Amino acid sequence: MRLVLALVLAALWAQPVHAATAGIPGLERVVGYSTIDSAQTKSARADCPFGKVVIGAGGGLSAVNPHLVLNGIKVSDTLRHVEAGGWEDENGTTANWMAFATAICADPLPGLEKVTVRSPYDSKPVKTLSTGCPDGKEILSVGWEIDSAPSQAWLSWLSVYEGRPAYGIRSRAFMSASEDQTGYDLDWWIHLHLLCAFPPPGLDWVRTGGLPDSTPYKTVEPVCPQGKRVIGVAGTMETDGARSQLGIRQLEVGSSRSAFVTASEDHDGTTDIWQLVGQAACVDT
């Protein structure tokens, strides 16, 4: 039943938005899907129409299943498509599932570029990254990858802190990923990607937090104010406990004002208190 519900929601979110806006001409939303089966790995791709570029990205896994690990949402270097993918964990599952990728496409924006930073390639169990946009530009959307640790590491933190240009403070994005509770002996690394541009009209990141408790599965929905629409998404799991048993499963950009962030405990669960926080990048319509 949960898988059916997830597929219905994905189908509803997949309706493209063909709406010219004063700030961002040619804005539309494109969703791509993987196959739906019980294969161990899945990858999905969403391509922008000819002449348009990616200005925002999202993606996730359809099934509510603690044995699935989202391992990245990446914008291509050409800014033409978004890829998202996942793995079954080391215990595997016989359930059917799929990955989906979402591209927010538009006519090219002034100053649009992709900025990428990478962690060291080593076997440390927790990895973190932080970076910002070049001077005069702001973060429109964030992407990320967990590389060379198939199903053994989870995204636990992806957040954007807005700048204050009047005070000389630039916006920055932060990422953290952790090995699962069984650990991983080999080297791995993480990549953080920013889509940066001169700020379009009304650019603002809004934040919504869920309840701090030990519920095993959580979703939050940050919503843009009236008169705005969403183009980017980020999410974090705030806890004093072990992040090795918590993972983000979905960072989805909706078709209007909402973003959706989903996370869950692993198959063993935890009694630790944790809170899911979602962020949405909003622009004027």
Q: Is the dihedral of CA 145, 148, 154, 157 positive or negative?
A: negative
Distant-in-sequence, close-in-space partners of 168: CB < 8 Å, separation ≥ 6:
none
Distance CA 86, CA 40 (A): 9
pLDDT tens, residue by residue, 108-159: 999 999 999 999 999 999 999 999 999 889 999 999 999 998 888 999 999 9
* Among 32, 29, 79, 30, CA closest to 51: 79
Whether the pLDDT of residue 162 is over 80: the answer is no
Distance CA 255, CA 227 (A): 14
Mean pLDDT, the chain, integer: 89
Residue 36's CATH number: 2.60.120.690
Whether the pLDDT of residue 2 is over 60: the answer is no
Number of domains in the chain: 1
Enclosing domain of residue 34 = 2-284
Any idea which of 168-177, 198-207, 255-264 has the lowest mean pLDDT? 168-177
DSSP assignments along 179-214, one per residue? E-TT---S-BEEEEEEEEESPPTT-EEEEEE---B-
Instruction: Name the residue with higher pLDDT: 202 or 151.
Output: 202
pLDDT tens, residue by residue, 8-47: 344 434 444 333 345 699 999 999 999 999 999 999 999 9
For residue 12, report the phi and psi dihedrals to the nearest 5 degrees. Answer: -70, -40
At 240, the pLDDT band (50, 70, 90 cuts) reads confident
Any idea which of 41-45, 65-69, 235-239 has the lowest mean pLDDT? 65-69
Rounded average pLDDT over 66-80: 95
**The pLDDT value given to residue 178:** 92
CA 195 from centroid of its chain's CA atoms: 13
**The pLDDT value given to residue 266:** 83
